[in-house]
Structure 1
């Protein structure tokens, strides 16, 4: 009697984390790893002269975790990341944490990670992270969401004008954001190619 073959990938949309075997604690472990990964890349920090906002690896971590984990887990990573810093864990740049850091001048960028993670994760759920030509625009858009929250917050927290906030909190980061988008697209595209070859 003939048996139906099982497809290499289920018919429902996937993100990379769905390829991990479904064990009871999988989501908790994946979110915890995402938080630690974001905290690790936050320590890659380069001060920007004249700006309270440093260049960090955080946004790269947001892009990678959101695209790999999907919208729900990606958002969960960023919510837990914020909560961890609120209780004082040194998860932000230069091993900082605490209430003052979370709600300070750069806090808007971190809160912007939440809608950015949702946007990227949702698009990845529909396959937008698998090809360079679709993932780069997605990852640029996701980072734009971070700045859309972070720059007005910076202006309100510091008393800067809109023009000053853009000068201090947006323009110096455009090139880095494009580079991060390209790096993330290359990493995720490579991961999907490896996953396909092993299936």
Structure 2
């Protein structure tokens, strides 16, 4: 089932070998989940939704890992939080936290990581303009899920004012930063591999 997929950043930097495929997958997923947990702690404590660096990390992981590995990484992160590990932005975790105001954003992380990864596997991360479009789309997906769930909890107007408006400027910055980081990583890969890469 060859569907014009191209190697991701992770595959270029750490090529898959049959003997180490599972260990490689697990190591990258664990490392990515740790990055998500750390990015959750870099926060500005807005209410009801804190501002963190997580969306930047989600988009970068999606672009670097591809759909399946990025989705598995976010699922691992969510499972850690569901089990009560302190990986989220707040001081609590578990099912109650995940059903709270940030629940939609957490689900959006999963969908956005998979979507960004799927597009990256099809070469959308190799062009600056398409990569920027992918990062914008990923952020829109996260906000769509976040807004929809928050609107159920507090109503559309409060969800818009508390869950979207305060984050617009920071989201533009994080989108551009994720775009620049992935583009720089591809440039570094190209320089390491030489003209034939």
Same-fold status (TM-score > 0.5): yes
CA drift at 1:57: 0.7
Which structure has the larger Rg over C-alpha atoms?
Answer: 1
* CA–CA distance in structure 2, aligned partners of residues 131 and 95 of structure 1: 40
SS in 2 for 1:93: coil
CA drift at 1:95: 4.8
Match of 1:88 in 2: 84
Match of 2:7 in 1: 14
Does the Cα contact within 8 Å between 1:86 and 1:98 map onto a contact in 2? yes
> Runs of at least 4 residues of structure 1 off by over 4 A?
none
Unaligned ranges ≥5, structure 2: none
SS in 2 for 1:198: helix
* CA–CA distance in structure 2, aligned partners of residues 18 and 132 of structure 1: 20
* CA–CA distance in structure 1, aligned partners of residues 177 and 128 of structure 2: 10
Does the Cα contact within 8 Å between 1:35 and 1:81 map onto a contact in 2? yes
* CA–CA distance in structure 2, aligned partners of residues 12 and 117 of structure 1: 16
More divergent stretch after superposition (138-147 vs 123-132): 123-132
Superposed CA offset, 1:10-65 (max 9, x none):
x95111011203223111111111111111111111022xx310110111110011
Superposed CA offset, 1:78-103 (max 9, x none):
11111100101110014542221111
Match of 1:59 in 2: 55
State the Cα RMSD in Å. 1.5
* CA–CA distance in structure 1, aligned partners of residues 123 and 180 of structure 2: 15
Match of 1:36 in 2: 34
Aligned residues: 185
Match of 2:175 in 1: 181
Does the Cα contact within 8 Å between 2:147 and 2:164 map onto a contact in 1? yes
Match of 1:143 in 2: 139
More divergent stretch after superposition (127-136 vs 28-37): 127-136
Compute the TM-score of the two structures, normalised by the length of structure 1: 0.88
* CA–CA distance in structure 1, aligned partners of residues 39 and 123 of structure 2: 25
Match of 1:5 in 2: none
CA drift at 1:180: 0.8
Compute the TM-score of the two structures, normalised by the length of structure 2: 0.89
Match of 2:45 in 1: 47
Does the Cα contact within 8 Å between 1:131 and 1:185 map onto a contact in 2? no
